[in-house]
Structure 1
Amino acid sequence: MTTRPLARRALAASCVTLLLGACASTGPARLPASQEAFWDALSSHCGNAYAGALASSDERDADFVGRDMVAHWAECSDSRVAVAFHIEDDEAPGGWDRSRTWVVTRTSDGLRLKHDHRHADGYEDAVTQYGGDTLSTGTARVQDFPVDAESVVMFVEEGLDQSLTNVWRVEVDDEGEPGARFAYQLTRRNDPTRLFRVEFDLTRDIAAPPPAWGW
């Protein structure tokens, strides 16, 4: 008389074990060691904000010269890190351009960088959600993101032919590492003279800014 209830309990326990195993398997896929180390370094700054500035000297970026900049790790999860990029701008609401957010996500094949561009009213810009995926495992500190096909289509539609060979780079050190830096860089495969680079001092965090537009 007791075998059936025991069997049912055993079956129930087995089902729970299977369900827990299924839930555990839905987490982010394991990345190559260098990308896992990069992800850990990037995630170590969650919630922090840091001051930075333009580090390149391309004349095409003259409008950025001398402006204060802030990188704010505004949102983090097991699969996504969103870093808001704030630029001092006297003509923007409140004196700051808060239109840009860099979003790094884990994929089944590596890492992906997308650019979330919005207006002060929160609506997306016509040129937004562009970026690319890693094509190599990179290093624990540096990952490159060549432009993806979806972004190329959008750039063509928007008349941005100069951006068809973009390669974005993100560099990051662990929180607490001596001389830690964070850098965002843009180059172009068809234009060796193009270089846009901003750097941030990760050794000292600052007060978090207001949210990026639309966030």
Structure 2
Amino acid sequence: MTKPHTLLAPTFPVRTTLLPLLLAATLAGCVSTQSSAPAPPTLSQQEAFFEALAAHCGKAYAGALVSDQSADADMRGRPMVMHVRECSETRIAVPFHVGNADGSWDRSRTWLVTRGETGLRLKHDHRHEDGTADAVTFYGGDTAAQGTAQAQEFPVDAESIAMFRANDLTASVTNVWRVEVDPAGAADGQFAYQLQRPGRLFRVEFDLTRPVALPPAPWGHE
């Protein structure tokens, strides 16, 4: 007797079932590869602040005293100009010019903002008209916190405290300086410099929306 033929199940349905699985695995591999790509680096608050100030390099802006303490009565109403004069990857020099009642200008002050590995530093370069250094110069402080992209505070450092005490300026040993800056092109952009300690507030503000003519070099930097 002839044995009946055994019917074999066709193999193509198995292949058809595997194709979607293989495709899904391939797509999953692509997604995993894309998601593992490193995200672009983001600026820290201090780096963003430094870059915002550097964006004004080569420009000068007019400002005025806005605090109202009697200690600064002689500066009230005087013309003021800040000039973002020198910029590098690690330091920005900002001379601060103050007009005198006789029409001359006091060009003795330059603010120095330096970027280091542990934060930002603010120092004050004070010169006499002949370019020589003042007895009290290069004082300031380092940031103690990240701050923001628009504002940084600089508590007085130990070196400056020693200098103040040596020159009978003990009231200054608790100084905290604050610098504020808006990036270039910001609506109502402003730069501010402020000194504060218990019982003392000095603050000047500058309009960053209207550059003015560049002033001469500060004393000692001609």
Report what 1:146 is aligned to. Answer: 155
Residue 62 (structure 1) aligned with residue 68 (structure 2): no
Percent of aligned pairs sharing the same letter: 61
Give 1:41-190 correspondences, 5 Å limit: 41-90=52-101, 95-188=104-197
The question of whether the paired residues in 2 share the 8 Å contact of 1:31 and 1:110 is answered with: no
SS in 1 for 2:210: coil
Q: Pick closer, same or farther for the CA change 1:208–1:187 going to 2, 3 Å.
A: same
After superposition, the CA RMSD in angstroms is: 1.4
Whole-angstrom distance in 2 between the partners of 1:213 and 1:86: 10
Whole-angstrom distance in 1 between the partners of 2:47 and 2:164: 31
Whole-angstrom distance in 2 between the partners of 1:159 and 1:135: 26
Whole-angstrom distance in 2 between the partners of 1:164 and 1:41: 29
SS in 2 for 1:200: strand
SS in 2 for 1:210: coil
Once the two structures are superposed, residues 150-196 of structure 1 have per-residue CA deviations (whole angstroms, 9 ceiling, x without a partner) of: 000000000000100000000000011000000000001xx1x3110
Report what 2:219 is aligned to. Answer: 213
**Structure 2 letter corresponding to 1:119:** H
Which of residues 157, 178, 200 is equivalent to 1:194?
A: 200
Whole-angstrom distance in 1 between the partners of 2:128 and 2:200: 26
Whole-angstrom distance in 1 between the partners of 2:186 and 2:145: 25
**Structure 2 letter corresponding to 1:212:** P
Whole-angstrom distance in 1 between the partners of 2:42 and 2:135: 33
- Answer with 1 or 2: which has the greater Rg: 2
The question of whether the paired residues in 1 share the 8 Å contact of 2:52 and 2:181 is answered with: yes
Report what 1:6 is aligned to. Answer: none
Could you tell me how far 1:108 is from its partner in structure 2?
A: 1.1
Normalised TM-score (structure 1)? 0.82
Once the two structures are superposed, residues 103-135 of structure 1 have per-residue CA deviations (whole angstroms, 9 ceiling, x without a partner) of: 000111000000000000000000000000000
Normalised TM-score (structure 2)? 0.79
Task: Extract unaligned runs of 5+ from structure 1.
Answer: 1-29
After the TM superposition, list the runs of 4 or more consecutive aligned residues in structure 1 that deviate by more than 6 angstroms. Answer: none
Could you tell me how far 1:32 is from its partner in structure 2?
A: 6.3
**Structure 2 letter corresponding to 1:204:** R
Task: Extract unaligned runs of 5+ from structure 2.
Answer: 1-40
The question of whether the paired residues in 2 share the 8 Å contact of 1:144 and 1:167 is answered with: yes
Could you tell me how far 1:36 is from its partner in structure 2?
A: 1.0
Whole-angstrom distance in 2 between the partners of 1:210 and 1:169: 26
The question of whether the paired residues in 1 share the 8 Å contact of 2:78 and 2:101 is answered with: no
**Structure 2 letter corresponding to 1:87:** V
**Structure 2 letter corresponding to 1:213:** W
